[in-house]
């Protein structure tokens, strides 16, 4: 199987050990990922950010084939039972392809809006392990034990340590693809990094004394710039894309809209065009797998279009604003204004203004806190190895990573309707 990809160029799965990939791509559950955008509502800020979870899944699987090719150049130093066999290569590539199966509409945003529902990792497990799914049938036809092994790998568990870390770790195939793909689609060029050099710098770490497989490591003589570029790419993407004010405002609005729908449904209020899975989550906190798999971006946009005429005024207003991209405004809080006390005082002031202007302050005013830890190697097994000396943590041998280690990136913003902007700006001005 050969595909063309805007990020990786020619993507191939031609080896016999990857013959299962075309069959999995044809399944209902994988094809559903074509209808789920990788970056949720980010295209409202970056028009090119319309790429899908399907493209990312293929990219992650291809990056895994590159990881495996590199490790096979090195694995002769390992006992034969710790090397990358054909079965392990197949399992790892399949896990990379299927790792995002459980995402709901607009990706991470959906589960953030409905925190009482199962997380996407749980939905992925249900898809892989449920005998009624097409994915499960393809896996079991190939190997009855394959669903269980793939599920373990997706969750970062495997007795061969380095395989688990390739699926879920600091430099896993998920991050290696989505950073490059998101940077390409948004046009944020400094979100890229040198994947070729990172792969070439891979090594095996020290062999554990208990006979377990070694973790992955980076060659200290040549690999530090590759690590640093990767971490900086992730930092820049959070600063410029994932925490962009327009993205965060639109995501906050969609979260409030879904919360409103669930609250109305749970209270027994009839709301038309609510997808079965969302109605079930509102009432019980869970949903049938088939109903959940019917959810995608198109389903939710269709519902939002219908909710523009809902009898509930707040729901209708939020749906209308989102559908026509009339988004809420934000004011970023800096310095002392970020403290919980100051944040609470500013929020109360904004809520008072909203109430005076006829807006429901509970629905229309909020504080959005976007937070991420770009790098912290305290609990990571990845080490930098040198020809002589003991392996070191990346933060111990890189000035840059030493400074970034444990530093949390946070953006705090007050969110409100554009009609209130002059009054709120004036109230916030000391």
pLDDT above 70 covers a percentage of the chain that reads 99
**In contact, 239 and 409? CB cutoff 8 Å:** yes
Length of the chain: 430
| Rounded average pLDDT over 369-380 | 86
Query: For the segment 283-337, what is each residue's pLDDT rounded down to a tens digit?
Result: 999 999 999 999 999 999 999 999 999 999 999 999 999 999 999 999 998 877 6
Does residue 388 have a pLDDT over 80?
A: no
What fold characterizes domain 2-242?
A: Hypothetical protein af1432 (1.10.3210)
| DSSP output for 350-374 | HHHHHHHTT--HHHH-EEEEEEE--
Q: Which pair of tokens denotes residue 169?
A: 């770790």
Query: For the segment 78-109, what is each residue's pLDDT rounded down to a tens digit?
Result: 888 999 999 999 999 999 999 999 999 988 88
Name the β-bridge partners of 331: 414
Does residue 248 have a pLDDT over 90?
A: yes
Q: Which pair of tokens denotes residue 122?
A: 């749980």
Query: For the segment 207-229, what is each residue's pLDDT rounded down to a tens digit?
Result: 777 778 888 889 987 888 999 99
| Rounded average pLDDT over 236-263 | 94
Instruction: Lay out the sheet containing 366-372: strands in order across.
Output: 329-333, 409-416, 366-372
Q: Output the furthest CA–CA distance in the chain (Å, rounded).
A: 73
Closest CA to 314 of 354, 248, 270, 364: 364
**SS3 for 410?**
strand
| Rounded average pLDDT over 408-417 | 93
pLDDT at 229: 93
Output the pTM of the full model: 0.93
pLDDT at 271: 93
Taking each continuous run of H as one helix and of E as one strand, the counts in the chain are 22, 8
Q: Which pair of tokens denotes residue 368?
A: 């959005």
Kind plus residue range of the DSSP H or E element containing 266: helix 245-266
Closest CA to 55 of 215, 196, 194, 184: 184
| Rounded average pLDDT over 253-268 | 94
C-alpha span between 16 and 14 (Å, rounded): 6
C-alpha span between 429 and 357 (Å, rounded): 19
C-alpha span between 277 and 290 (Å, rounded): 9
What fold characterizes domain 245-371+412-428?
A: Growth Hormone; Chain: A; (1.20.1250)
| Rounded average pLDDT over 260-285 | 94
Q: Which residues make up the CATH 1.20.1250.30 domain(s) of the chain? A: 245-371+412-428
Kind plus residue range of the DSSP H or E element containing 203: strand 202-204
Q: Which residues make up the CATH 1.10.3210.10 domain(s) of the chain? A: 2-242
Average pLDDT along the chain: 92
Which residues have C-beta within 8 Å of that of residue 257, sequence separation ≥ 6? 304, 307, 315, 318, 319, 322
φ and ψ at 160, to 5 degrees? -90, 100
C-alpha span between 64 and 89 (Å, rounded): 9
pLDDT above 90 covers a percentage of the chain that reads 74
Does residue 39 have a pLDDT over 80?
A: yes
Measure Cα distances from 223 to 64, 217, 384 in Å.
19, 10, 8
Task: Find how far residue 165's CA is from the centre of its chain.
Answer: 17
C-alpha span between 30 and 156 (Å, rounded): 20
Does residue 412 have a pLDDT over 70?
A: yes
pLDDT at 123: 96
Closest CA to 38 of 51, 47, 27, 25: 51
Name the β-bridge partners of 332: 413
pLDDT at 430: 59
Residue 190, judged by CB atoms within 10 A of its CB (0-12, 13-18, 19+), counts as middle
């Amino acid at each position: 199987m050969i595909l063309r990809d805007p990020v990786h160029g020619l993507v191939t799965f031609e080896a016999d050990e990857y013959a299962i990939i075309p069959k999995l791509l044809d399944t209902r559950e994988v094809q559903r990922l074509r209808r789920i955008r990788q970056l949720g509502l980010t295209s409202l800020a970056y028009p090119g950010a319309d790429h899908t979870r399907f493209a990312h899944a293929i990219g992650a699987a291809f990056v895994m084939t590159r990881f495996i090719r590199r490790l096979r150049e090195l694995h002769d130093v390992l006992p034969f039972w710790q090397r990358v066999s054909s079965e392990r290569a197949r399992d790892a590539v399949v896990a990379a392809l299927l790792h995002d199966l459980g995402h709901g509409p607009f990706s991470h945003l959906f589960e953030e809006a409905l925190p009482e529902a199962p997380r996407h990792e749980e939905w992925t497990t249900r898809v892989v392990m449920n005998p009624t799914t097409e994915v499960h049938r393809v896996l079991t036809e190939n190997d009855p034990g394959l669903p269980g092994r793939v599920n373990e790998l997706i969750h970062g568990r495997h007795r061969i340590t380095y395989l688990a870390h390739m699926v879920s770790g600091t430099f896993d195939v998920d991050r290696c693809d989505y950073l490059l793909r998101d940077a390409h689609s948004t046009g944020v060029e400094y979100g890229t990094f040198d994947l070729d050099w990172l792969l070439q710098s891979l090594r095996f770490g020290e062999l554990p004394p208990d006979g377990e497989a070694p973790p992955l490591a980076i060659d200290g003589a040549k690999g530090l710039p590759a690590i640093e570029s990767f971490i900086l790419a992730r930092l820049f993407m959070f600063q410029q894309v994932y925490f962009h004010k327009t993205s965060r405002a639109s995501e906050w609005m969609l979260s409030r809209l879904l919360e409103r729908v669930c609250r109305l449904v749970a209270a027994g209020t009839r709301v038309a065009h609510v997808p079965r899975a969302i109605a079930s989550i509102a009432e019980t906190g869970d949903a049938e797998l088939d109903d959940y798999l019917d959810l995608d971006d198109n389903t939710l946009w269709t519902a939002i279009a219908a909710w523009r005429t809902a009898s509930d005024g707040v729901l209708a207003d939020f749906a209308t604003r989102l559908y026509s991209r009339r988004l809420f405004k934000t004011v970023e809080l800096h310095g002392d204004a970020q403290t919980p006390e100051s944040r609470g005082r500013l929020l109360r002031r904004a809520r008072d203004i909203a109430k005076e202007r006829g807006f429901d302050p509970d629905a229309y005013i909020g504080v959005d806190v976007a937070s991420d830890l770009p790098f912290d190697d305290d609990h990571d097994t990845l080490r930098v190895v040198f020809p002589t000396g003991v392996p070191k943590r990346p933060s111990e041998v890189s000035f840059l990573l030493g400074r970034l280690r444990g530093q949390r990136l946070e953006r705090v913003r007050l969110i409100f309707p554009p009609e209130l902007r002059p009054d709120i700006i004036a109230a916030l001005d000391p």
